[in-house]
A and B are shown apart, each in its own frame.
Chain A
Amino acid sequence: QKEVEQDPGPLSVPEGAIVSLNCTYSNSAFQYFMWYRQYSRKGPELLMYTYSSGNKEDGRFTAQVDKSSKYISLFIRDSQPSDSATYLCAMRAIGAGSYQLTFGKGTKLSVIP
C-alpha cells in the first residue's frame, strides 16, 4: 500500500460546481497536510496548509482533515475554468529530519465553461 493515495482522475465538472478532491494515507506520523495546485509547466502553488483535524476555509477553498480516518479533502466552491489544473495533496511528519513531503500523484481537474 502506498503511503498516500490520490485518484488521478481526470475529473471534469461544469463551471459553478462544487469540487471534492481527496487523499488517504497510511502513515499515522503525518501531522502536516497541504494542498497544492499545479498548472501545466509551472511549479506547484500552495493553496492550503493545516495541521489539525477539522476544517480550514480560505475563500472558495475548504481543506478538511480527519486524522482518525487518515483522510483529507479539498473542496472548491463555485468552480471556475481558471481552477483547471492538477491538484496535489502533500503531507509530512513532525520532528527532526522529517521535513520531506510525501505527495499524492495528483488529480487533474477540468472546469468546463
Chain B
Amino acid sequence: GAVVSQHPSWVICKSGTSVKIECRSLDFQATTMFWYRQFPKQSLMLMATSNEGSKATYEQGVEKDKFLINHASLTLSTLTVTSAHPEDSSFYICSAEGTNQPQHFGDGTRLSIL
C-alpha cells in the first residue's frame, strides 16, 4: 500500500525553540497534504490543508504564525512549530492524498516541550 513517512517520530525540546516535522509520500504524488493534531483518547483534529506550491489553508483557531506549513513539492510537506511552548506538546500527524489515492497517514510525531 501507499506509504507516508513522517520524521521525527519523537522530539523533546526546550520552550522557545522551533521544531520542524517532515512528511513525505514515498510512492505517490501527494496533491494535497494535511496536518492533524491529536490529544490523548481523542480523534484527529485537522489543523491545515496544503496543496503543492500554494499557501496552506488553516482551520479556524489555528495560528498561522505559530504553525508554519510548507508544501514545496509533490512528495514533501513540513510543519514548523515556532517558539514552541508546553501547551504545544501533542501528537502531530500528517497525511497525504493523491490522484486515485485516499488519505494515507504518517506514523505521527510526539512533541514534548519542556
Contact = CB atoms under 8 A, between A and B. Distances in A.
Interface stretch (B11-19, B67-75, B77-85, B106-114): B106-114
A51 B58 CA distance: 27
A104 B103 contact: no
A104 B43 contact: yes
B102 A34 contact: yes
Given A99-B32, A100-B46, A104-B43, A46 B108 contact: no
B103 A46 contact: yes
Contacts of A101: 46, 103
B83 to A, nearest CB: 26
A53 B62 CA distance: 36
A46 B104 contact: yes
Contacts, number: 45
B46 A41 contact: no
B107 A43 contact: yes
A57 to B, nearest CB: 16
25 contacts: A32-B102, A34-B102, A34-B103, A41-B91, A41-B108, A43-B4, A43-B6, A43-B93, A43-B95, A44-B93, A45-B105, A46-B1, A46-B102, A46-B103, A46-B105, A49-B102, A90-B103, A99-B97, A100-B34, A100-B46, A101-B46, A101-B103, A103-B43, A103-B44, A105-B43
